[in-house]
Chains A and B, each alone.
Chain A
Amino acid sequence: MEEKIIIAGFGGQGVLSIGQFIAYAAIEDGKAVTWLPSYGPEMRGGTSNCSVVVNDDEVASPIVSCPDCLIAMNKPSLYKFVDKVKAGGTIIVNSSLITDKVERTDVNVLYIDATDLALKAGNARTANIVILGAYCKMRNMFNQELVAKVIEKKFANKPKVIPANLKALELGFNA
């Protein structure tokens, strides 16, 4: 099994960290993974994306040209990658910022109001964790307990933010 993902949005939306959480979860799950960021003269507010490849044994190419799943956090990112998604693949659309609908009919699309759900979780900055939860559920990649464990480890030195992130994860899984 190989799962190829592109996650794209504005810098500062937690785009790179969604990818890193998927990578940590993959390791926790005993899988091989690569995480490759687009690097460039980037800054908060500029565009940012990363490619993640999860494989049961070994990842060959870390370069993703036809993802199984696209996570689009803002409009330019959706239009940049929408046509590259594999037929039968998945697109997760952050509908807090993207009001357009995906015109393709050969992919599964989830529209998720990540910011609204993040506010419900108690912290607007957990929107990327909402998306992470929705991704894991929709692609049937990792169970909620495993990802929760990864989040607890990752925020071990900031225990205050753990409850909101775990709630955001739950809301994402149930979205």
Chain B
Amino acid sequence: MKKLMKGNEAIAEAAVRGGCRAFFGYPITPQNEIPEYLSKRLPEVGGCFIQAESEVSAINMVYGAAGSGARAMTSSSSPGISLKQEGISYICGAELPCVIVNMVRGGPGLGGIQPAQSDYFQTVKGGGHGDYHMLVYGPGSVQEALDIMYDAFDKADEYRMPVMILGDGMIGQIMEAVELPEMKDPATFPKKEWATDGTGIGANRRIVNSLYIEPDVLEAVNHRLFDRYATLAEKETRYEAYKVEDAEIVIVAYGTVARICKSAINMLREKGYKVGMIRPITLFPFPTKAIEAVASQECVKEFISVELSMGQMIEDVKLAVNGKKTVSFYGRTGGNVMSPEDVAEFIIAKENK
């Protein structure tokens, strides 16, 4: 029997079932159900839940726990994630696996508490300093968020980097029926030969660090990271194509916005407009090749990036389309959310100009 769960709670339960045994966070709307749920759930499985004194402490606790080999995570929303950027950069520099959830709210500054996607740049281009990326997912349903979270620690361990789940506020608040997977057995998780877990002694001592004073050494570290990002692009890129085969207009949208666009596409198709969509599921790596291929289709006239921002992902869409077709933008911001009718009206007005 499927269970009705709120996005935030489903993510929290999936984290536990995916092996998370340490959570460090600080409250902020609209993601509070994640720490609330885990504060009760983690002790039940012998895990550790700490409400830190600040976001900065929380991310550094994740750094420490991840360094010792634990499956550790944190969650927050936009202003809180900004505070965590230094820690995220250090974790990427130290090549540690962890999971970070950002339920995005409107900004800049304290902004508002309603849904947004305006942290796209921060998330995929590197919100902290230095040359780094994370594996970033933008789930479009509660089940998809749950499935991504369930495997997120495996991906983080495999690539030794943080996995970021980027949800617009809605994906955390919405309730949908979900199927919960079995609890993963921590005994089956791969051994971490680099972790400072007390087993490396003397000449074999292990060091977790992100300081490389020698330029040649640091350059090699950067190359190693970017080789890994190339592997990510090859093996982990995920997207959904919807009715693009005969499309003249192709929407690119992710998260809840993609669902709104799906309804809009169905409305527009009934009126004879040939509209399709590419929905990136991974935002880094971005489905550049898929968009490139659709841009090469003769029937396609134009692309529209639809976002809850002033236009951020559109830059990656433009890079992928690479001048083959025009790329325009439709968005709402400040916490306002477009309806399917808004998207349909925008496209109809554009086509009849």
Contact = CB atoms under 8 A, between A and B. Distances in A.
Interface of A: 20, 23-24, 27, 32-37, 39-41, 59-66
Given A35-B175, A60-B266, A61-B339, A24 B260 contact: no
B236 to A, nearest CB: 25
A118 to B, nearest CB: 24
B259 A36 contact: no
A40 B262 contact: no
**Residues of B in contact with A, size category:** 20 to 34
Nearest to B265: A60
A34 B2 contact: no
A41 B262 CA distance: 30
Interface string B87-130: 00000000000000000000000000110000000000000000
A24 B340 contact: no
B322 to A, nearest CB: 30
B68 interface: no
Given A27-B177, A40-B113, A62-B174, A35 B262 contact: no
Given A39-B30, A62-B259, A20 B175 contact: yes
Given A61-B339, A63-B260, A34 B176 contact: yes
B266 A36 contact: no
24 contacts: A23-B175, A23-B177, A24-B4, A34-B175, A34-B176, A35-B4, A36-B170, A37-B173, A39-B30, A39-B169, A39-B173, A40-B113, A40-B114, A41-B113, A59-B176, A60-B262, A61-B264, A61-B340, A62-B174, A62-B256, A63-B337, A63-B340, A65-B339, A65-B342
Nearest to A40: B113
Interface in B293-346: 337-342
Contacts of B177: 23, 27, 32-33
Contacts of B169: 39
B147 to A, nearest CB: 16
Contacts of A62: 170, 174, 256, 259
Interface string B177-193: 10000000000000000
B29 interface: yes
Nearest to A64: B339
A101 B45 CA distance: 55
B196 interface: no
B263 interface: yes
